Structure 1
């Protein structure tokens, strides 16, 4: 009988066998031998169902598989938990799916299980369950916590992430032998009574598992209602550009330079619980890859010297629980806590008012991810194209057209203002949202590309035609031209001789004062000209053309 139950248990519940955790009454801990994870096998199953050891399993296999055998919605201990768990179960049943509702080990929380015939992608399983929660009108945002009488009792899903490169999170396994005697860790009916034969119920589910071809596994993930909205000035776009951060090589190390992370590592007691979890939400963008950093920023926390509360000290279990809860949150919502939100909750970054990134997770990210403009909506596909351009041609291909000491400026409040973040403003220029200007010539009186305004439309047309026929690279805006060069810097005098030669070749008659438009400029606004390629990336890269 034991062998049959062990085999049935493994068939239904066990997917990942290379590691597990157990709880001996003092929290969950990994089970290891000489530093190596102990596999989960028949002996561990038997110990669990006999009540000799309480085991927890990792919900999914890591990349490249990222698969799970079941998905579970966890409802914490509060007055709404039972009704909301069953509301979800009834909704799933209305879709001709067959969930099981389990009362937790404590007897106060509930798990709604849904099983699959074969392993499926965790992302698809989570999408199915998240959509069901939304469709069943079950609150999944707002205040929540064990023992709290709030409208929300839903805590999270297992698996708590779409992908993992390591362990992910665990769920306490059902049918623990000792807990079953109290009616807990048991599958229950609508009246809250354990089914008389738990093993028959588990065997029954074998024939009712969700097939991998079920269409609900491949639907679009619903928009989550009631999410915390961030101010437009705090956000980068209506699309989830945070998801693209994982594609940047070594960006997780880049955010270590952020003031919030540096302070967390040197003085973690500077943060209260809200700001600590806000920092975790930013690290959670990186899912399992960020788990080690989450512990690093938490490990030094110890407020006992301040309030003598033994609970206010770093806990590996609590950090993992909070971190993977945030991973789940980010995968549902897509937006971590902003730096301004951290300030409102108790910790203010000393660089808050002038740091351009606005989110810890965005620290050091390229302009393709940090650009936000209400007049230009960028999808993630757009941002991916821009990221590819940044990593191939990139901003240097633009700045190489000008001297190394070139000065750049934009108009702010009607005044031409020199800028520092030239890559950011260059992208704005290339997308056609804000013009970026360059001083011509440079302070050293040198140039690379050569600028001139012919003023006359007919001459400008003739000049453009001749440049094209002679394969001279140029960019034109009305009657103004940039003759594009990325070679050695030359003096302005030499540049004017080149320009004169090109004009003569095009059959344009120059007056004796033709060079005054350059040499007689004295006002700041007269010395700056818009860069070439205004709106170039928008019209070529994002609207179907090819960037050059």
Structure 2
């Protein structure tokens, strides 16, 4: 004889499953309806206001401050050699420009170009690559940049970022133009002596080595500004400005988070470090 008890149990379980499936279907329909309502509401919300090119340039120029009276542009010849030269209205003019016999700093006919909004636009739009001179004529600077390249640059920049976090120093990480290195930027709300900034940079590096003692930090290249005081007859070392379009198109010269994941430009914001903490420390003048 068939097991009536077992058959009743199967029938009961199948009915319970069918009831639950109908409930889930009803719930699914309610969720789909609500989803459509929310999508309609989202489409009705005003889009966040987009910044004009002028506003973007103003923000960029306010952060990446250096000498405003001069800048350099990158060049590359047919053989692949490349470098930077000061932007000058008299460059290579016959009878006026005596390069390379006469250095730009010693040239009596120098007519250097100042950085303008158009200069920054040309850089960001990919027409030129601008080199900024962060060391101002009074031997102060508005920013600190720590440059890493070579093999262990990724782990070194991460450790340096952690060192900044340990000191509560706002900072930004940029993948370099080559893609084989990075810059860590610190922006100040007012200019500070280059000597103090460089001492801060070495303090950050010391902390990074403490955080990651297994790293050799061979990838560390230099600090910007690269001098404590403005050299006589010189301009200090330059650093390429970030976010140049052609480099960005290759995934380079972009800003990233602490895990080196690119940050969308629209979502990028930067904080400045207040100088009082440095002025009142043993690292100030």
* TM-score of Structure 1 vs Structure 2, range by shorter chain: 0.5 to 0.7
For the residue of structure 2 that corresponds to 1:29, the secondary structure is strand
Aligned residues: 204
Structure 1 residues 44 and 138, CA gap change in structure 2 (3 angstroms): farther
Alignment TM-score, normalising by the size of structure 2: 0.67
In structure 2, which of residues 40, 52, 55 is the aligned counterpart of residue 4 of structure 1?
A: 55
1:86 equivalent in alignment to 2:158: yes
What's 1:118 paired with?
A: 190
1:15: how far off? 2.7
Residue 50 of structure 1 corresponds to which residue in structure 2? 125
RCO higher in structure (CA 8 A, sep ≥6): 2
Given that 2:196 and 2:283 are in contact with CA atoms closer than 8 Å, whether structure 1 keeps it comes out as no
Tell me what 2:206 maps to: 134
Residue number among 155, 158, 161 corresponding to 2:221 in the alignment: 155
Distance 1:39 1:109, change over 3 A: same
Equivalences for 1:287-366 in 2 at 5 Å?
none
Is 1:74 aligned to residue 147 of structure 2? yes
Q: How far apart are the structure 1 equivalents of 2:210 and 2:84?
A: 29
- Residue 217 of structure 1: how far off its partner (Å): 6.8
> CA RMSD of the aligned region, Å?
2.0
Query: Is the alpha carbon distance of 1:194 and 1:75 closer, same or farther for their aligned partners in structure 2, counting shifts above 3 Å?
Result: same
**Pick aligned residue for 1:187 from 255, 262, 275:** 255
Instruction: State TM-score, norm by structure 1.
Output: 0.36
Q: What is the Cα deviation at residue 95 of structure 1?
A: 1.1
**Which deviates further from its counterpart, 130-139 or 110-119?**
130-139
Larger radius of gyration: 1
1:99 is the counterpart of 2:171 = yes
CA distance in 2, matches of 1:18, 1:215: 27
Query: Whole-Å Cα distance in 1 between the matches of residues 210 and 185 of structure 2?
Result: 16
The alpha-carbon distance between structure 1 residues 177 and 217, as it changes in their structure 2 partners (threshold 3 A), is: farther
Report Cα offsets for 1:498-522 as digits up to 9, x if no partner: xxxxxxxxxxxxxxxxxxxxxxxxx
Distance in 2 of aligned mates of 1:81 and 1:177:
23
What residue in structure 1 maps to residue 87 of structure 2? 31
For the 8 Å contact 2:71–2:114, the answer to whether it is kept is yes
Which residue number corresponds to residue 59 of structure 1? Answer: 134
Aligned to 1:495: none
Native 8 Å contact 1:15 1:61 kept in 2: yes
Q: 1:215 to 1:30 in 2, by over 3 A?
A: closer
Q: Secondary structure of the residue that 1:157 maps to in structure 2? A: strand
Query: Are 2:230 and 1:167 equivalent residues in the alignment?
Result: no
Pairwise CA distance, 1:190: 2.8
Moved over 4 A (4+): none
- Counterpart secondary structure, 1:112: strand
Any idea what SS the aligned residue of 2:126 has?
Answer: coil
How far does the alpha carbon of each residue in 1:473-498 deviate from its partner, in whole angstroms, 9 at most, with x for none? xxxxxxxxxxxxxxxxxxxxxxxxxx
CA drift of 1:200 comes to 3.6
Match of 1:178 in 2: 246
CA distance 1:101–1:153, shift in 2 (3 Å): same
SS at match of 2:199: helix
Alignment partner, residue 281 of structure 2: 218
Distance 1:218 1:92, change over 3 A: same
Contact 2:196 2:278 in 1 (8 A): no
User: Would the aligned equivalents of 1:88 and 1:138 in 2 still touch at CA under 8 Å?
Assistant: no
Q: CA deviation at 1:171?
A: 0.2
Counterpart-to-counterpart distance in 1, 2:165 and 2:128? 33
Instruction: Name the counterpart of 1:257.
Output: none
- Alpha-carbon offset, residue 199 of structure 1: 4.6
